[in-house]
Amino acid sequence: MDKQRTHFGYQEVPTEEKASRVADVFHSVAARYDVMNDLMSFGIHRVWKRLTLERAGVRPGQRVLDIAGGTGDLTLKLAERVGENGRVVLADINASMLKVGRDKLLDKGVGGNVEYVQANAECLPFPDNSFDCITIAFGLRNVTDKDAALRSMTRVLKPGGRLLILEFSKPESQVLSKIYDEYSFRLLPKIGELVANDAASYRYLAESIRMHPDQETLKGMMENAGLERVEYQNMTGGIVALHRGIKL
């Protein structure tokens, strides 16, 4: 594809427009995002995130960056694990999502060890070698230049640091893939219309999943960004995959 154009779901749009279009989607869905997550995944997203936390191996006193952290599900648990001497930065490009996340965490009593930063994953505003661990859950597929984002994340990781990417991926069986397509394109926009009064945004989210690199392609992209010992684990039949790489 021409570098001046990129995908927005199944549409082809000017590259410089994608970020603002994605922003419009998440401004629209921010207030109902948590409710929709539970409905869309039947609550299974909590299991996926729990496994991500276990694989992150975060310890007290460490510095962690949660990119596209949205409403703060991972940040909340990461903050508990790093303790009062550690630090978690919840970063999101979208101000509406960041506000929802900050309000939710403050309501839950999360305080001094969490920082909130509006940031673009492609050009993170942090010094080299800043973080022991970086997580990004269901955010990479919305990034315009994924290779630039992976390089940026690798740059701000400390040597020995870990990047974990939790993202929708490619189902392992054709039968599951067909069922998943029916659900995504027929049922999901209807749920979005009923709950969030926004069918179009949820149609985009379904399309963006299909345009995201498959498991092996993403593994290769992480290696090209400079990460080592990259591996992935399929969950729920490959509907979701957890990739993990280390900066040596």
Known binding-site residue numbers: 71, 92, 120-121
Q: Could you tell me if 247 and 158 are in contact, meaning their C-beta atoms sit under 8 angstroms apart?
A: yes
Gap between the Cα atoms of 148 and 145, Å rounded: 5
CA–CA–CA angle 145, 149, 152 (5° rounding) = 140
Residue 102 corresponds to which tokens in the numbers above? Answer: 């900050």
Burial category of 202 from C-beta neighbours within 10 Å (exposed 0-12, middle 13-18, buried 19 and up): buried
Beta strands 228-235 and 240-246 are antiparallel
Residue ranges for the binding site for S-adenosyl-L-methionine? 71, 92, 120-121
Residue 244 corresponds to which tokens in the numbers above? Answer: 């993990």
Gap between the Cα atoms of 193 and 189, Å rounded: 6
CA–CA–CA angle 144, 149, 151 (5° rounding) = 145
Gap between the Cα atoms of 236 and 124, Å rounded: 31
Q: Give the H or E element holding residue 85.
A: none
**Four-CA torsion 43, 44, 48, 51, nearest 10 degrees:** 90
